[in-house]
Structure 1
Amino acid sequence: MLAVLAAPGRDLVAAEDALADALERALTRWETDGVPAKPEAWVLTVARNRLRDLWKSSGYRLNAPLEGIDPVAEEIDAAEIPDRRLELMLVCAHPAIAAAVRTPLMLQTVLGIDSAAIAAAFAVEPAAMAQRLVRAKRRIRDTGIPFAMPAREDLAARLPAVLETVYGAYAIDRRREPGGAPQESLSAEALHLALTLTELLPDEPEVLGLAALVCLAEARRSARVDADGVFVPLDEQDPSVWDRSLLHRGEDLLARAHRCGRPGRFQYEAAIQSAHSSRAFGVPVDPHVVRKLYRALVLVAPSLGARVALAALDGEIDGPLAGLRSLDRLDAKDFQPAWVVRGHLLTAAGRLAEGGAAYRRSAGLTTDPAVVEYLVKLMQANDIRP
């Protein structure tokens, strides 16, 4: 709805205010009058009228002639709304927007993630992130960036930020809502957007790779926590409860991407997920294959998470001391997964006191109660004081 409202005047802030006002009125009116037959049309019509009043007010700068502008048709098809999000994402990825703020802007504007959560994900102070987002929205309005699908040759330049946003939304969602039902979280939105991108760009391998990655990871969502709400690591999950339809869809998308012959970051990440998903089809996970894929991933996208996972695999294959040496070469600081891996490797090496300290440090770096409970049980299983 925001994408629909913002398109005519290209003013995201005004559209956000108008939409918020319309939703507030809906909460008041619908309680007494009942929900209208077409609630989206009701909200959009009220928001449109507020925008009209704003445009007619003195002192407001509109980047288009007022005559003939109709933000929303009276009878809007609600089914058309979701696909407009991709259009808005591509607006946020316009070259006129600073590269560092494109993904945060999409996360907030298109997917509704609050600026504090975005700031935490990007290791930026919340106030600084909020200011960057406001400046970016003003930039869209002041430069008159059109709300339209770019030409194919321009799409390639904007696509990386769009893919990063879909991936980031899914990653943020997994951290903040462990075990949450897909329809109650952003994971369903990320999956929808990833699959919609494959329809828009069916021959783009990284688009296919991202969609495969989200499908394969989402297939295991229900197994991430047990009945007691305790986190279950991937290698301990029961593959019989994984979503077979999503697994098959992810494998098909990954195969299509592979046939393009242009490997990239999201394809490698999807291939890693595929290797871990092999248990669902009766094939044991081969750590040597997974390590090879992580090494390829690190070459094209040397993220700290990938390098920590690679250190864990070094420990699994070559022994805990080898894994610790790999981990010591990283500047992990307060990166929580690194402390989990360190605790595991130290415990496997028989250095229980140091392992316990690493586990306790990792528990202090997460706000996920399911993970904390898992770490406590892990320490107890190794006779370490939590």
Structure 2
Amino acid sequence: MSNPSRAAEIAARDSYGRLLAFLSSRTHDIAMAEDALADAFAKALSHWPEHGIPQNPDAWLLTAARNKLTDNQRHQTRFPTQSEIPEGSSEHDADTTIPDERLSLLMVCAHPSIAPDIHVPLMLQTVLGMEAKTIAHLFLVSPAALAKRLVRAKTKIRDAGIPFKIPDDDSLPDRSMAIFEAIYALHAHDWLDPKDAMGEEALYLADLLCRLMPGNAEALGLAALIALSQSRANARIIDNQLIPTHEQDPSRWNNQLIQYGSRQLRRAYQLGSIGRFQIEAAIEAAHIARKDTGKTDWAALNKLYFALQKIAPSAGALVAQAAITGRLHGPKQGLDALEQVEQQVGSAFQPLWASRAEMHAQLNENEAASRCYRKALSLTTDGPTIKLLNKKLLALEANSIAK
């Protein structure tokens, strides 16, 4: 690669988290390691154009960061003094083997003493190297407020002496699930606003987990779920209107992401430990199968939602299964199912009313359908969903007038 700026950019994306994890695990101070690494990247941008891009950029950056830490700390026992790689010397003289300790860094970010709502921003900054102002934009918060919270979290990690290591077997499942939930939350933010590319970052982190935890079925399931969902991003919203999955144009789906997600899902199943994310990924896969079969297998989806309710019941899954009941057994039975769902989740859940409206419309009960669409609209603030519901309501009213 001949472009020094591009080489530094690629190193930042591919190696930043690995280098920061390595340095942080030795200083136990994320902020100090970040400063040293930032200084190393700045040196690279001034040194590489003149002297050429090193054969091993990671080793060069690590050496420069270690030098900065040594200058700051004067801690020879922790970081022996090393001079920058001299021009013309062999980089193999430097420490070229950098252990990948990003999983430990993720575990630190998800520590129970850190507020859950700062887990994802902390992961994005430390593992991906994203700036606080960029993260603040993604989460619709003030950059200054987020920066302060990130600093407080890093200070707490340092002062509390939170260890940079994989936790023991007793606490590993809880900490791992906190990471999974944080990445899933990042993915969910992107669902109706893919232009912010949060789903891309969620998939990057999920794929990283698959490489760091290859024997964890739920890590694989999470990556499969995000990839399969992301594969439909270009078909999900057209002209700022939400398009239901079963109405989307499969030709707009991303085959590369479908192949990746399907591969990760198969690997997860082979491990024989079924969990929530695997089932949700299987639901996505069942919808995506329409690309090959030309139809949606509602019976398969019904079984999958039944399994999901056993493991991770939710209002959304309950409404989805009631809607599938309507497709399999008719709108009257679907409405009966939705009555039962309302007793469980209450009357303030928008998808419940949208599903009700569709079933009433199928029964030609246009007045009831209209009331339900209006109720759904009153519970919605999302633009693409509002446009979809309004379109359905207008079509319903036009049909009533025509009759």
Distance 1:133 1:343, change over 3 A: farther
Letter in 2 for 1:224: R
Match in the other structure for 1:271: 282
CA RMSD of the aligned region, Å? 4.5
Letter in 2 for 1:340: A
Gap runs ≥5 in structure 2: 1-15, 86-90
Structure 2 residue 386 is the aligned partner of structure 1 residue 375: no
Letter in 1 for 2:338: L
Matching residue within 146, 153, 168 for 2:185: 168
Letter in 2 for 1:223: A
Distance 1:73 1:3, change over 3 A: farther
Return the offset for 1:53. Answer: 7.7
Distance 1:73 1:374, change over 3 A: farther
Letter in 1 for 2:358: H
Alignment of 1:259-338 (within 5 A): 259-282=270-293, 284-318=295-329, 319=331, 320-331=334-345, 335-338=349-352
My pick for the range that moved more, 326-335 or 104-113, is: 104-113
Return the offset for 1:309. Answer: 2.0
Q: Deviation per CA, 1:340-385, whole angstroms, max 9, x where unpaired?
A: 334434544531331231242244x21xx33333232222222279
Match in the other structure for 1:243: 254
Q: Distance in 2 between the 1:276 and 1:304 partners?
A: 20
Return the offset for 1:215. Answer: 2.1
Q: Distance in 1 between the 2:343 and 2:263 partners?
A: 37
Are 2:322 and 2:338, in contact at CA under 8 Å, matched by a contact in 1?
Answer: yes
Q: Distance in 2 between the 1:332 and 1:242 partners?
A: 35
SS of equivalent to 2:397:
coil
Q: Distance in 1 between the 2:33 and 2:357 partners?
A: 49
Q: Distance in 2 between the 1:233 and 1:203 partners?
A: 34
Return the offset for 1:107. Answer: 5.7
Q: Distance in 2 between the 1:333 and 1:70 partners?
A: 64
Match in the other structure for 2:5: none
Match in the other structure for 2:109: 92
Match in the other structure for 2:204: 192
Are 1:4 and 1:72, in contact at CA under 8 Å, matched by a contact in 2?
Answer: no
Return the offset for 1:275. Answer: 1.0
Are 2:217 and 2:273, in contact at CA under 8 Å, matched by a contact in 1?
Answer: yes
Structure 2 residue 24 is the aligned partner of structure 1 residue 10: no
SS of equivalent to 2:192:
helix
Return the offset for 1:100. Answer: 7.5
Structure 2 residue 375 is the aligned partner of structure 1 residue 358: yes
Distance 1:372 1:21, change over 3 A: farther
Q: Distance in 1 between the 2:127 and 2:276 partners?
A: 23
Distance 1:20 1:230, change over 3 A: farther
Q: Distance in 1 between the 2:270 and 2:224 partners?
A: 14
SS of equivalent to 1:175:
coil
Structure 2 residue 201 is the aligned partner of structure 1 residue 201: no
Distance 1:100 1:193, change over 3 A: closer
Percent sequence identity over aligned pairs: 38
Gap runs ≥5 in structure 1: 57-64, 121-125
Match in the other structure for 2:175: 158
Q: Distance in 1 between the 2:260 and 2:81 partners?
A: 37
SS of equivalent to 1:330:
helix
Are 2:29 and 2:158, in contact at CA under 8 Å, matched by a contact in 1?
Answer: yes
Q: Distance in 1 between the 2:353 and 2:212 partners?
A: 41
Q: TM-score, normalised by structure 1?
A: 0.71
Distance 1:72 1:254, change over 3 A: farther
Match in the other structure for 1:69: 79
Letter in 1 for 2:345: D
Q: Distance in 2 between the 1:137 and 1:158 partners?
A: 18
Aligned length: 357
Are 1:206 and 1:264, in contact at CA under 8 Å, matched by a contact in 2?
Answer: yes
Return the offset for 1:243. Answer: 2.2
